[in-house]
């Protein structure tokens, strides 16, 4: 047994205060409690196991990934345990905390200028070019079907969707009303959503998307919306990732940075959940869905990652400064 066996089987808990007055209860799957602190540990495990089975990874192999940080952390854990070299390519806009964590875990880190996917210096394009030039294994989370399989389920490991179904049943429900989740690569919402709909086609699968991302409009209308700035990390996009499958999705909700970061504070203070901004996006969207009266069961969403990845960000610094101002020193 190694770290790979500690990934998954995370708890599903009910939000006891936030949304308590709504028609449908909200449950949150605590993926921030994975060994690497995020749901991306599942993605990393699935990609590595699949590549090993195909002979694409052998002892001493080099992996490279374009990442917002969390997939890189998951891959770094596995690289250490399995004896691989890992190179992570991050855009400069991502929190410094993630760079530090990757270096501490033994990954080599390359920082690129921010840019759209059409730009050669985009982090994903840089990772792809370096993989081709050096013969390294490109883990390719945005298009690798193993990412989707991590959440749909494999022969060896139940997926996120399968775990949700079992845990909702343990909580006394035969099904759930909706699954609400944001999208970085699309793997979690598409893989979990497909498995959930196999169980009950009436389950609504709702994308939670930051305002400024183009994806919510694409889900709701079939056309990408305007691409604007947003501060929440690791989710949202101006293009459609290969692992995001529109046929699984029923609708999308757009959530502003201000709403997301305010919800993170509430989750910490009212529910004891130390999570990052993408979880704030998920819960704000889940509250809207939970207000509906046409759903047959609880709403399930996801705590994507830990708050300690964001201590260097502007929104977290502003929060810490507000809290520091309330501290009273003894006279």
* Tally: H helices and E strands in the chain: 11, 10
Q: Is 40 annotated as catalytic?
A: yes
DSSP string, 170-183: HTT-SS-SEEEE--
- Residue 150, CB half-sphere, CA atoms under 13 Å: how many? 29
Residue 29 parent element (H or E): strand 26-30
Residue 225 tokens, joined: 């919306």
* 194 closest CA partner among 262, 234, 147: 147
Residue 97 is classified by DSSP as H
Residue 190 tokens, joined: 């598409």
Q: Give the C-alpha separation, 313 to 291, whole Å.
A: 32
Q: Give the C-alpha separation, 309 to 286, whole Å.
A: 23
5 neighbors 81 (Cβ within 8 angstroms): no
Q: Can you tell me whether residue 65 is helix, strand or coil?
A: strand
List residues bridging with 178 in a β-sheet: 204, 299
List residues bridging with 153 in a β-sheet: 158
Residue 210 tokens, joined: 């930051």
131 neighbors 64 (Cβ within 8 angstroms): yes
- Catalytic entry in 29, 40, 98, 197: 40
User: Catalytic site residues?
Assistant: 40
């Amino acid at each position: 047994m190694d770290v790979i066996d500690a990934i998954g089987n995370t708890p599903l808990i009910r939000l006891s205060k936030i949304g308590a007055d709504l028609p449908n209860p909200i449950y949150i799957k605590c993926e921030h409690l994975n060994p690497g602190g995020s749901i991306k540990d599942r993605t990393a495990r699935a990609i590595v196991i699949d590549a090993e089975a195909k002979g694409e990874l052998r002892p001493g192999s080099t992996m490279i990934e374009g990442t917002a940080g969390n997939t890189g952390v998951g891959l770094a854990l596995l690289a250490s345990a399995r004896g691989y070299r890992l190179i992570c390519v991050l855009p400069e806009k991502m929190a410094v905390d993630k760079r530090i964590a990757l270096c501490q875990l033994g990954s080599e880190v390359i920082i690129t200028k921010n840019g759209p996917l059409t730009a050669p210096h985009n982090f994903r394009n840089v990772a792809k070019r370096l993989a081709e030039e050096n013969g390294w294994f490109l883990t390719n989370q945005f298009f690798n079907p193993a990412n989707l399989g991590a959440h749909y389920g494999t022969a060896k490991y139940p997926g996120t969707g399968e775990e949700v179904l079992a845990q909702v049943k343990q909580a006394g429900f035969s099904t759930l009303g909706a699954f609400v989740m944001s999208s970085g690569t699309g793997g979690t919402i598409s893989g979990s959503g497909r498995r959930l709909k196999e169980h009950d086609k009436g389950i609504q699968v709702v994308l939670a998307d930051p305002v400024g991302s183009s994806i919510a409009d694409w889900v709701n209308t079939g056309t990408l919306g305007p691409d604007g700035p947003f501060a929440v990390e690791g989710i949202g996009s101006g293009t459609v990732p290969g692992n995001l499958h529109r046929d699984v999705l029923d609708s999308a909700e757009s959530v502003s940075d201000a709403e997301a970061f305010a919800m993170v504070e509430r989750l910490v203070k009212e529910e004891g959940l130390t999570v990052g901004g993408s979880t704030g996006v998920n819960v704000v969207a889940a509250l809207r869905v939970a207000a509906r009266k046409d759903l047959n069961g609880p709403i399930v969403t996801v705590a994507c990652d830990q708050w300690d990845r964001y201590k260097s960000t502007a929104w977290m610094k502003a929060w810490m400064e507000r809290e520091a101002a309330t501290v009273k020193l003894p006279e």
